[in-house]
């Protein structure tokens, strides 16, 4: 990550600029009514979780769980930075999320499934019902699919009850689930299934999205073929049915490989499967996320630490009580859904809403109708959804009689304007907002206000969570003090129970990606030597609140979902006409950032719509529709350094009408002007200001 002197200086300049433009917002206070019922009202918590009490402070979190065997060592750092939490402990995650609630809550809804079509009835699933269905599914996975503790299985499922049921069935057996977001293409699913070494793929025939039934089974065939190309045989595809009485897919079943779960289940009716007592350190699941290089990385989360962390943060930050009705509007196929739809809320015996479809189907009033009817009082979504619902129906929430006590936002920075609409209109001025900053790798929240204890500040995630000690370093590892109005790289000084254990099958990449930057002694077993590098730019205000600025690597955050630009670029290169490809982020009013593609063509190939369409198609089939570019620009050549590197930062500046800076040292400076004209037309004036992540984009290549 060597930077030239010029690079470092230009970053310093832009940091100062942020300071000038950064306006402090006023605080908002939680209401006395909220404080009166909150789970966390003890201001002593920060002291209790001070660094001098680390790591034993986290016992308090683990004590929220039911252990088969209590642990003997809270944190073992002997193999740093591979942290081992609650060593010696044994537990089962499914038992903690289901069985242990039966005595008190068996007739209470664990989930209320809301199908996308508004005329399909809601389906409540009580804890008892969940228990029965999880057991039967576990029996099937064990006895029919032959799955055992430690095996990996890939789940490519939509937002229906079958997804958490299958996850919990895996957890019951100690089988490691790897859920791939349902909107990812079959190819993307196959790559991930191969990396995890899954022999079994669980899918569904189809599901509703935006008023249409999608044939999802078709993706499974592609996934199996892709995995085979990668050297991984998937010998069983288990298919859930979306409808009781008909198939949602016209894709044929492959004999001897594909099996309808709904046909097999009657054989396991009434069966009970003893939850397998797992080591606290046993992996619970893999969750793939995009990184700087082409291959997605499988973040491996363990059982004890992860579950303790998500249970505690659900309780203290989301303020979930068993009597609440909680709705997290994420997809379970992302980490937010794992931690804050499935594991955290269920560990607390919550009632959660599980909504199948898109937010504004059939209109922008839908979410608020659901909230009113089910009396949802905790709401959790992303800034993209907030912006979209605001654009489509700014007055809609006022028409419905629901009351939220807390609302969470996650996934991207939320601009103060959107925050204020969320607060005053969606939250009716009553709800507390928690802006939670964290990542797939982290298991749970890292920065957020504590809803009854800290005032809110629009646009700021807030202070570190109890026991999480963030720090901002400059490129050289010098601490940037709070209130200095300078940005840097946000890191966490200490490990915490929710941190991933490793990247599946790639220990080196784990160390390199998250720790190498600021570790000075690779042999050290002292956690103080291993600050966690998050890959986000941030600054800390004088009050200790962190404002997150966005990624500092080659990752684009589209609507709160991470896309690796390398992955997109390799997809473009599968189009035979394309010689070179570069992908850059563009600011977008709704989605935060969207990718824009630049391609140069092979000699003799004519530029035209056909090639552009091919590029879009290649991206949609290798990754999915979420990665669809805003535009494909065919350029005569890429701007390059003398050593031949594509200057993505220059392209990003052009796409965002920002100044490109000095390009005279490039190998082909003239092409920059040509591309600018092509993209912006003649006479457009570049503005100097621009978001930090875009300014820094491509720096590290
Ligand atoms: C990246 C992680 C785990 C949440 C879902 C996304 C960005 C996340 C915030 C926030 C500003 C945020 C960061 C982070 N991000 N939450 N509250 N404010 N930025 O998980 O796909 O792993 O992405 O999302 O850039 O690094 P993910």
Q: How far apart are the first and last CA of the chain?
A: 8
pLDDT number for residue 22: 56
Cβ of 411 closer than 6 Å to ligand 1, yes or no, is: yes
Distance 116 CA to ligand 1 centre (A): 27
pLDDT of residue 646: 87
> Would you say the CB of residue 113 lies under 6 angstroms from ligand 1?
no
Where residue 349 sits, what CATH number does that domain have? 3.40.50.12780
pLDDT tier, 4 (very low <50, low <70, confident <90, very high otherwise): very low
In a domain, 370, yes or no: yes
**Distance of CA 2 to CAs 8, 475, 517, 696, 700, Å?**
10, 10, 11, 14, 8
DSSP state of 317: T
C-alpha–C-alpha distance, residues 516 and 518, integer Å: 6
Pocket mutation for ligand 1, best pick of 340, 381, 412 (most atoms within 8 Å of C-beta)? 412
269 located within any domain: yes
Question: Ligand 1 within 6 A of 236 CB?
Answer: no
Query: 397: which 2 tokens?
Result: 């929430």
Cβ of residue 221 lying under 6 Å from some atom of ligand 1: no
Atom of ligand 1 nearest to the CA of 441: 22
Ligand 1 atom at minimum distance from 555 CA: 25
Query: Are 86 and 232 within one domain?
Result: yes
| Residue located nearest, by CA, to atom 11 of ligand 1 | 413
Q: Is the CB of 435 under 6 A from ligand 1?
A: yes
Q: Which atom of ligand 1 is nearest to the CA of 534?
A: 26
Q: Where in 486-560 does DSSP place strands (E)? A: 488-492, 502-503, 532-540, 546-551, 555-558
pLDDT-based confidence at 662, cuts 50/70/90? confident
Per-residue pLDDT at 688 = 67
- Which residue's CA is the nearest one to ligand 1's atom 23? 439
Q: Are residue 583 and residue 437 in the same domain, yes or no?
A: no
Confidence check: pLDDT of 621 > 60: yes
Structure tokens at 700: 């590290």
pLDDT surpasses 70 at 583: yes
Centre of ligand 1 to C-alpha 297, Å, is 16
Q: Is the pLDDT of residue 613 over 60?
A: yes
Q: Which atom of ligand 1 is nearest to the CA of 548?
A: 11
pLDDT in tens, 181-238: 999 999 999 999 999 999 999 999 999 999 999 999 999 999 999 999 999 999 999 9
Which of 421, 447, 473 corresponds to the end of one domain? 447
Q: Does 81 have pLDDT greater than 80?
A: yes
CA 167 to centroid of ligand 1, rounded, Å: 23
**What tens digit of pLDDT does each residue of 126-180 get?**
999 999 999 999 999 999 999 999 999 999 999 999 999 999 999 999 999 999 9
pLDDT at 415: 87
Q: Is pLDDT at 76 greater than 90 in this prediction? A: yes
Collect all residues with Cβ–Cβ distance below 8 Å to 115 and sequence separation of at least 6.
Answer: 121, 122, 123, 160, 208, 356, 357
Task: Kindly state if the Cβ of 550 falls inside 6 Å of ligand 1.
Answer: yes
Whether the predicted pLDDT of 19 surpasses 60: no
User: At which of 447, 481, 516 does a domain end?
Assistant: 447
Cα 336 to ligand 1 centroid, rounded to whole Å: 10
Residue 489: beta bridge partners? Answer: 473, 537
Which of 399, 418, 447 is a domain's end point? 447
pLDDT band at 3 (very low <50, low <70, confident <90, very high): very low
Confidence check: pLDDT of 648 > 50: yes
What CATH number should be reported for the domain holding residue 620?
Answer: 3.30.300.30
Q: Ligand 1: distance of its center to the CA of 288 in Å?
A: 14
**pLDDT grade, residue 641 (50/70/90)?**
confident
Ligand 1 centroid from CA 533, angstroms: 14
Q: What is the pLDDT of residues 399-437, one digit of tens each?
A: 999 999 999 999 998 989 999 999 999 999 999 999 999
Question: Which residues have C-beta within 8 Å of that of residue 311, sequence separation ≥ 6?
Answer: 61, 64, 65, 96, 343, 344, 347, 348
Determine whether the shortest distance from the Cβ of 548 to ligand 1 is under 6 A.
yes
Average pLDDT value for the chain: 93
Q: What is the pLDDT of residues 46-63, one digit of tens each?
A: 999 999 999 999 999 999
- Asked if the structure places residue 339 within a domain, the reply is yes
In a domain, 560, yes or no: no
Q: How confident is the model at residue 294 (pLDDT cuts 50, 70, 90)?
A: low
Inform me whether the pLDDT recorded for 661 exceeds 80.
yes
pLDDT digits 0-9 by tens, 532-555: 999 999 999 999 999 998 888 888
In a domain, 220, yes or no: yes
How many C-beta neighbours within 10 Å does residue 52 have?
7
Give the residue, by CA position, lying nearest to ligand 1 atom 10.
Answer: 437
489 pocket-lining for ligand 1 (C-beta < 6 Å)? no
For residue 439 and ligand 1, the question of a CB distance below 6 A is answered with yes
Given a contact cutoff of 8 angstroms between Cβ atoms, the answer to whether 59 and 74 are in contact is yes
Position 672 confidence tier, pLDDT thresholds 50, 70, 90? very high
Instruction: Give the domain range for residue 643.
Output: 573-696
The alpha carbon of 412 and the centre of ligand 1 are apart by a number of angstroms equal to 5
- Confirm or reject: Cβ of 412 under 6 Å from ligand 1: yes
- Separation of CA 431 from chain center: 24
Q: Which residue has the higher pLDDT, 648 or 126?
A: 126
pLDDT at 14 over 50: no
Domains identified in the chain, total number = 2
Q: Closest Cα to residue 591, out of 616, 556, 619, 621?
A: 556
Ligand 1, atom 18, residue with closest C-alpha: 413
Q: Determine the average pLDDT of the residues in 574-602.
A: 94
| Index of the ligand 1 atom closest to the CA of residue 448 | 17
pLDDT, residue 20, reads: 31
Give residue 538 CA to ligand 1 midpoint distance, Å. Answer: 12
At 5, is the pLDDT very low, low, confident or very high (cuts 50, 70, 90)? very low
Task: Answer whether residue 2 is part of any domain.
Answer: no
Reported confidence tier of residue 2, pLDDT bands at 50, 70, 90: very low
Q: Which atom of ligand 1 is nearest to the CA of 442?
A: 3
Instruction: Indicate if the pLDDT at residue 693 is higher than 50.
Output: yes
Average pLDDT over residues 2-22: 36
Report residue 163: phi and psi, to 5°. Answer: -70, -60
> Of all atoms in ligand 1, which is nearest to the CA of residue 330?
5
């Amino acid at each position: 990550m060597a930077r030239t002197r010029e690079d470092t200086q230009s970053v310093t300049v832009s940091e100062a600029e942020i300071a000038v433009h950064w306006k402090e917002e006023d605080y908002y206070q939680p209401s006395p009514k909220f404080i009166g019922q909150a789970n966390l009202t003890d201001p002593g918590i920060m002291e209790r979780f001070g660094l001098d009490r680390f790591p034993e402070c986290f016992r308090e979190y683990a004590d929220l769980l039911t252990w088969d065997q209590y642990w003997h060592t809270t944190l073992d750092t002997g193999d740093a930075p591979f942290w081992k939490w609650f060593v010696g402990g044994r537990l089962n995650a499914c038992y903690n999320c289901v069985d242990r609630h039966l005595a008190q809550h068996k007739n209470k809804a664990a989930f209320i499934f809301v199908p996308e079509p508004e005329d399909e009835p809601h389906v409540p699933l009580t804890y008892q019902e969940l228990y029965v269905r999880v057991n039967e599914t576990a029996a099937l996975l064990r006895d029919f699919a032959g799955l055992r503790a430690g095996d990996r299985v890939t789940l490519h499922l939509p937002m229906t009850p079958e997804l958490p049921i299958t996850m919990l069935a895996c957890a019951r057996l100690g089988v490691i689930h790897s859920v791939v977001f349902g909107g990812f293409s079959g190819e993307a699913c196959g790559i991930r299934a191969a990396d995890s070494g899954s022999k079994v793929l669980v899918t569904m025939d189809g599901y509703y999205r935006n008023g249409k039934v999608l044939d999802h089974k078709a993706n499974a065939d592609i996934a199996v073929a892709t995995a085979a190309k990668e050297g991984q045989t998937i010998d069983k595809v288990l298919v859930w049915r979306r409808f009781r009485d008909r198939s949602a897919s016209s894709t044929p079943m492959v004999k001897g490989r594909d099996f309808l779960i709904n046909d097999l289940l009657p054989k396991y009716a009434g069966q009970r499967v003893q939850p397998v007592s797992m080591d606290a350190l046993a992996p619970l699941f893999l969750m793939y996320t995009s990184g700087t290089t082409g291959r997605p990385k499988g973040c491996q989360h363990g059982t004890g630490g992860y579950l303790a962390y998500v249970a505690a943060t659900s309780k203290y930050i989301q303020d979930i009580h068993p009597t609440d009705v909680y709705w997290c509007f994420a997809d379970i196929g992302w980490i937010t859904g794992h931690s804050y739809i499935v594991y955290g809320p269920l560990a607390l015996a919550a009632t959660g809403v599980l909504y199948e479809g898109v937010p504004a189907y059939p209109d922008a009033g839908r979410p608020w109708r659901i909230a009113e009817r089910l009396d949802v009082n905790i709401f959790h979504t992303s800034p993209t959804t907030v912006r979209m619902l605001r654009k489509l129906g700014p007055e809609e929430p006022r028409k419905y009689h629901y009351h939220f006590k807390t609302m969470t936002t996650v996934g991207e920075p939320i601009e103060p304007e959107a925050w204020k609409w969320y607060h005053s209109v969606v939250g009716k001025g009553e709800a507390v907002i928690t802006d939670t900053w964290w990542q797939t790798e982290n298991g749970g929240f890292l920065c957020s206000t504590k809803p009854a204890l800290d005032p809110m500040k629009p646009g700021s995630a807030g202070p570190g969570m109890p026991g999480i000690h963030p720090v901002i370093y400059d490129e050289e590892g010098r601490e940037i003090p709070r209130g200095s109005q300078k940005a840097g790289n946000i890191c966490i000084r200490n490990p915490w129970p929710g941190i991933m254990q490793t990247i599946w099958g790639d220990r080196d990449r784990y160390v390199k990606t998250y720790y190498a930057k600021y570790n000075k002694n690779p042999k050290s077993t002292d956690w103080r030597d291993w600050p966690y590098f998050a890959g986000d730019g941030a600054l800390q205000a004088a009050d200790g609140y962190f404002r997150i600025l966005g990624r500092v690597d080659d990752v684009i955050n589209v609507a709160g979902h991470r896309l690796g630009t390398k992955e997109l670029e390799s997809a473009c290169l599968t189009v035979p006409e394309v010689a070179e490809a570069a992908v850059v982020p563009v600011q977008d009013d709704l989605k935060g950032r969207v990718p824009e593609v630049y391609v140069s063509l092979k000699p003799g190939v004519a530029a035209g719509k056909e090639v552009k369409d091919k590029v879009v198609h290649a991206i949609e089939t290798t990754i999915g529709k979420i990665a669809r570019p805003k535009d494909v620009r065919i350029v005569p050549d890429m701007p390059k350094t003398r050593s031949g590197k594509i200057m993505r930062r220059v392209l990003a500046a052009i796409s965002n009408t920002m100044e490109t800076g000095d390009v005279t040292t490039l190998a082909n400076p003239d092409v920059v002007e040509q591309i600018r004209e092509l993209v912006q037309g003649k006479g457009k004036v570049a503005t100097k200001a621009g978001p930090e992540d875009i300014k820094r984009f491509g720096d590290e290549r």
